[in-house]
Amino acid sequence: RYAYAVTRQADGALTVQGAVVLRSDQGERLTGDDKAASIIQARYDASAAAQDVAARFSFQGYGNGVEYGASKLRSLVERHDGNVRDDRGQIVGDEKLAGDLVQKEWRGDLHSRKGRDVMHLIMSARAGTNVEAFENAARDFLAEQFAGHRYVFAMHDPANDPKEEGEGGKRPHVHAHAIITMRSESGDRIETTPQVFREWRATMAQMARAQGIAMEMTDRREFASPPAFTRNQVRPVSREGRTEHVGTSEAAQGRYDAQRGGRRILAKAERSREYAIKATQSWEKIALASGDRRVVAYAEQQRDHLTASLSAGQTEASVNVVHADFGSKFRANLVTLQKAVLEGPEMRETTRAEFEAYEKKVETALFRLERSVGPVER
């Protein structure tokens, strides 16, 4: 399984870039490194084609799973304006087709036949949290929760991040990444269920409070918050400041808009509904018992949100989704343009060179948006 794009260089040479599934139908699996490149090079050099055309092979990177494959193929399609073909010679003309190809046709060859050996866990806190205190809390949490497992973790402090905002760096919130073995030295395997995740969050909040950080484990049902979107439901289109995404489908876009817009959504399960009723009663008790006006106002606001959501749940509430061509780059280009023109405080004091660079950035964004907008949308 593969897809590729061909570019002719100024000297007449051809460059072929592509994405390939490393596992073949015969069961052979390449490693995607220099060793694998040398194997492919040797096979080509021994073929009849090498007598007529000289070629060099190299891998630029490799990864695992459907999400990684779809991301790389979408990037290939975007870089080559849709001039990409798959192993059957079919055109992969836009990012939707790229995602469908990987998710529907390549999926079986991309999934590992074994359970994963390690887990990637991210712990985060709000912007402005003391970095040293949070690092100590993360260390205590890992030691408490994953005793007997091997793990490593690293802190990401925005102040010391070598990546710029446009590259996905300098995130405003402090966070830590941990890589943990799924099986302990005694053979016990980590469970990953919603209930276990809740326990982890409660333990992390407890460790944070012990370090002087005001952190509580909350449940979205207590606030009628919308469900989170997953990484395979959206793709990033801008990493400057807060990362902006577009959905990979209309349903995914609806979930993303609900989450980012703070829309109130009550979980539909009967158990969740019962939980929300108890949460409403708890907010009412807090409002009655507290003597702080701000606490009373906040508790009443949350109580009213839940009450309204419970009432709306009696009639099947429908989520408003954005109807758009998600195979096109229209939404991605629109977000890029918005980022460019809504400059905020950055434009208060600008040198001539900086302004010219900004002007070029806006012109490029307008050009790309114009190319992606159809006659009806204009």
Each residue's pLDDT tens digit, 352-367:
666 666 666 666 666 6
Separation CA 159–CA 145 (nearest Å):
29
Phi-psi category of 277—alpha, beta or left, where left has phi over 0 and alpha has psi -120 to 50? alpha
Model confidence at 94, pLDDT cuts 50, 70, 90, reads confident
Is pLDDT of 249 > 60?
yes
Question: Among 1-5, 111-115, 201-205, 263-267, which range has the highest average pLDDT?
Answer: 201-205
Each residue's pLDDT tens digit, 143-202:
999 999 999 999 887 777 776 666 666 677 788 999 999 999 888 899 988 889 989 999
Domain boundaries, the chain: 2-110, 118-217, 231-312, 330-372
Instruction: Among 32-36, 40-44, 165-169, 339-343, name the one with the lowest average pLDDT.
Output: 339-343
Residue found under tokens 């405080």? 345
Helix residue ranges per DSSP H, 313-374: 330-341, 352-372
What is the average pLDDT score of the chain? 79
Q: Are 172 and 158 in contact (CB under 8 A)?
A: yes
Regarding pTM above 0.85, the answer is no
Instruction: Among 40-49, 247-256, 292-301, name the one with the lowest average pLDDT.
Output: 247-256
Tokens of 373: 């907008």
Q: Are 138 and 123 in contact (CB under 8 A)?
A: yes
Q: Which fold has domain 118-217?
A: Alpha-Beta Plaits (3.30.70)
Model confidence at 316, pLDDT cuts 50, 70, 90, reads very low
Separation CA 78–CA 72 (nearest Å):
10
Separation CA 339–CA 333 (nearest Å):
10
